[in-house]
Chain A
Amino acid sequence: MGEVFLKLENIKKSFGGVQALKGVDLEIRKGEILALAGQNGCGKSTLIKVISGVHEQTSGDYYLEGKKVEKLTPIDAIRAGVQVIYQDFAVFPNLTVAENIAMNNSLMTGTKVMNWKKARELAIEAMEQVGAHMDPDILVERLTVANKQMVAICRAIINDAKFLILDEPTTALTKKEVENLFKIIRRLKEKGIAIMIVNHKLDEIYEIADRLTIIRNGEYISSGDIKEYDRARFIHDITGRDIVESVYVPEKSDGTEILKVENISREGAFENVSFSLEKGDVLGITGLLGSGRGELGDALFGLAPATSGKITLNGKEIEIHNIEDAIKNKIAYVPEDRLTQGLFLDRSIQDNMVAASIGKYFHGGKLDHKKIAEDTTEWIGNLSVKIGKQTDAIRTLSGGNAQKVVIAKWLNTDPELIVLNGPTVGVDIGSKSEIFEILHKLAKDGVGVIVISDDLSELVQNCNKILVMRNGKAVAHIDEEISENELYKLFSEGGES
């Protein structure tokens, strides 16, 4: 094993009041493959951004090849040989495949001219290494998501990278492409490049990694040779639990079926998915990114509707072609990305609270602002949202409290079904359990509740039914108690077709 390339000591990073990293250590040697594992929201992305110079740490030390780094810009990091393949790829949609691949290379060498012939050659060579087949002259905006990622991977490997970070690189790849990628990663490793893979697919980590570092909730948990970790320890360190404390058990159902979904499909997203929901049920839907879990939620809310299949809500067969249909049928949706999809950051808490139900306050020819204020006060009380004043901008709230407002926004529409996509991402533990308490109460009152999430411990504890998605198909319907570790196996077992 080579010498140490990068070393982080006690790295802390906070945004406003939120502490994303609470003291993380990391060490990586040349010619080594390190897996960085942890659940969603554990601080992996922040850590990557600190390493690549996008964010500066609040405190802690950063060493590159033994030398302490004081200030690092993204281009410094690239010059030092640190290459990141981000989850959103950061490719240029308006440029060709060849140019995207060759771009960083030209930037790094500091050349002033654009050599198209060389760019094409580099691109073709890189694509050959990965085993991708794309027209190098096509614009990237015309590529599929998987191929866009390929472009990003190609772009990173043609540079003289000394340290390559791959943020969940395999989620959108087929099995063949993953094998290909691993082949290249091993080749790069032999060349003495340090590689860090952020992943939570168990089997892939065992297949490729030499060492493992686990972080949880921004805290450093453990680090060691992959051989030191058996599956039990791995899962324990990731989830932080052996035993599941309390598990949600609905009151004995009277058998009223709230929602029945039969064989819904949407090409390229999910196919033939069926499930049902009785009064009192909280249904969890899980699966890896790209498994179709999020797309299922989008379909129920009409954002990207299902193209075939049958949906019955409270005994009535309904058709959902667009958002208006969903709203008409009293379906509510708490979207995945709270900041961009859920909140009007500059508007007041009160405004956010009534954004989906503003129409019902219009009577007698004008809006009833008094009633809006009263209702807001009531919801704030019911959901115990901690706020200053309800006319404050919602950006002043913490993640948990803001999420409660998003939920309240929809409860204010008297929904019959509420779908929550990743409801606890970036939410502190206290608010997390409060949010689920709210959901349990809703279920008891006869509202259909669906939680889409990849936080397995919360699903195990708070859902009495769980649907596991993989490659757009429902691969497991669980309606009895399940341990988190068992669920993790179902969830992560690489099994790509």
Chain B
Amino acid sequence: MKQSKWKEILTSNQMFIVYIIVVLCIAISMKTPAFAEVSTIITLARALLVTLCFAICEMVVIISGGIDVSFPAIACASLYIPICVFKENDIDNVVLAFVFAAAIGLVIGIINAVLISLLQIPPLIATLGVSSITQGMLLTFFGTRQISRLPSTIAALNKVYLFTYQSKAGNNYSMTALILVPIILYIVIYIVLKYTMLGRGIYAIGGDANAARIAGFNVVRLQFIVYMFSGVMAGIAGMIYCVLNKAANPLNLMGSEMMIIAAVVVGGTRMSGGHGTVLGTILGVVLIGLIQNNLIMLGVPTYWQTFVVGAVIVVGTAITSLKELAVQKNQKV
């Protein structure tokens, strides 16, 4: 009994990703010894911060039985509009910036929810449409120009550090305090998904929406919460991106939805809904992040990246699907 449980843990999807990550890290360290340093964690954390925020929200959406490809567009709108408005009116308030960003995200999230939950439009097409509308409005009414001089309190946030690490080569690496956002977010989502009825309801509607309705869950309400929450988080993540990049660019994040979905799916979340774990998503993001940021250290040319990521997702989903089929076929206890 105990042995079989160990076996189950060691052969689970998540452990599989851990193995790949470990192998990848060892390989990179052998080729580039500088990789095996605390500084790597600091740079990676900075690079993956925004993706982490997106990925966990995407996971929640997929668990609930939907999908959302409008994150990047929401983020772009939520970072660009407040900065534009602030510049125009000489406002400089970092708290207000984040509230503004969250509000924009909330509005777009509500639009998504209305289309998907009330009007029953397939989630992919609905969010794709919303994404394009958002992007179009942003570029039409606010322009396409990058704003590199942020209001000072917002820019200052970039220089708030948790700690600074000095590498052997004498370079200073500072951990941004914004890393607390995904850390708190992940802890909160872990608790909500696992220990609240709201979280269990999200799993329930993704597993069998009809059974959930019979059991007495308010399916529409749950869907609204999911899309509204991910809208708000996408907005906040957008503002963080702006801070980290010291510039407001209305286009940079576009196209990143693929990476987000990839990370979530590789982390073991089933596209059909109802399954997915916080830990898996972290691992998925780290794996995809390593490939994107550090594969080059292995001597793999950058133009291989897209393909490698694609191959990892295909293999990841194929394994998940095959396991799913196996569960369906060989019953049962």
Residues in A lying within 8 Å of B, measured CB to CB: 54, 74-75, 78, 86, 90-95, 99, 103-104, 106-108, 111-116, 134-135, 138, 141-144, 147
Contact = CB atoms under 8 A, between A and B. Distances in A.
Given A94-B273, A103-B204, A112-B196, 13 more contacts: A91-B208, A93-B274, A94-B206, A95-B200, A107-B215, A108-B216, A113-B196, A114-B195, A116-B195, A134-B333, A135-B333, A142-B331, A147-B333
B149 interface: no
Contact of B331 (A113, A115, A134, A144): A144
B214 A86 contact: yes
Q: SS class of chain A's interface: helix, strand, loop or mixed?
A: loop
Interface in B190-224: 194-200, 203-204, 206-208, 210-217
B203 A74 contact: no
Contacts of B95: none
B212 A92 contact: yes
B63 to A, nearest CB: 9
Contacts of A142: 327, 331-333
Bin the interface of chain B by size.
20 to 34
Contact of A112 (B194, B197, B210, B213): B197
Contact of A92 (B208, B332, B333): B208
Contacts of B199: 114
B246 interface: no
Contact of B207 (A74, A92, A104, A107): A92
A130 to B, nearest CB: 16
B215 A104 contact: yes
A107 B333 contact: no
A341 B211 CA distance: 21
A97 to B, nearest CB: 10
A7 B327 CA distance: 44
B46 interface: no
A434 B200 CA distance: 51
Contacts of B197: 106-107, 111-114
Q: SS class of chain B's interface: helix, strand, loop or mixed?
A: helix
B203 A95 contact: yes
Interface string B288-302: 000000000000000
A451 to B, nearest CB: 30
Contact of B195 (A94, A104, A113, A143): A113
B213 A74 contact: yes
A147 B333 CA distance: 8
Contact of A90 (B200, B203, B210, B331): B210
Contacts of A92: 203-204, 207-208, 211-212, 274
Contacts of A74: 213-214, 216
Nearest to A92: B207
A134 B207 CA distance: 21
B69 to A, nearest CB: 23
Nearest to B273: A94
A113 B197 CA distance: 5
Nearest to B331: A144
Nearest to B194: A114
A86 B214 CA distance: 10
Interface in B313-329: 327-328
Contacts of A104: 215-216
Contacts of B210: 90
A116 B204 CA distance: 16
B208 A90 contact: yes
Contacts of A112: 196-198
A95 B63 CA distance: 12
A147 B207 CA distance: 18
A147 to B, nearest CB: 7
Nearest to A78: B216
Contacts of B208: 90-94
Given A93-B208, A114-B200, A75 B216 contact: yes
Closest 10 CB pairs of A and B: A94-B274, A94-B207, A75-B216, A90-B211, A144-B332, A92-B207, A90-B214, A107-B216, A114-B195, A114-B200
Contacts of B204: 92, 95, 103
A75 B219 CA distance: 12
6 contacts: A93-B207, A94-B206, A103-B200, A104-B215, A116-B194, A142-B332
Nearest to B218: A75
A142 B216 CA distance: 24
B333 A99 contact: no
A168 to B, nearest CB: 17
A114 B214 contact: no
Contacts of A108: 216
B88 to A, nearest CB: 43
A103 B331 contact: no
Instruction: Tell which of A93, A114, A135 has the most Cβ of chain B within 10 Å.
Output: A114
A110 B113 CA distance: 24
A86 B196 CA distance: 26
Instruction: Tell which of B195, B208, B211, B217 has the most Cβ of chain A within 10 Å.
Output: B211
B214 A95 contact: no
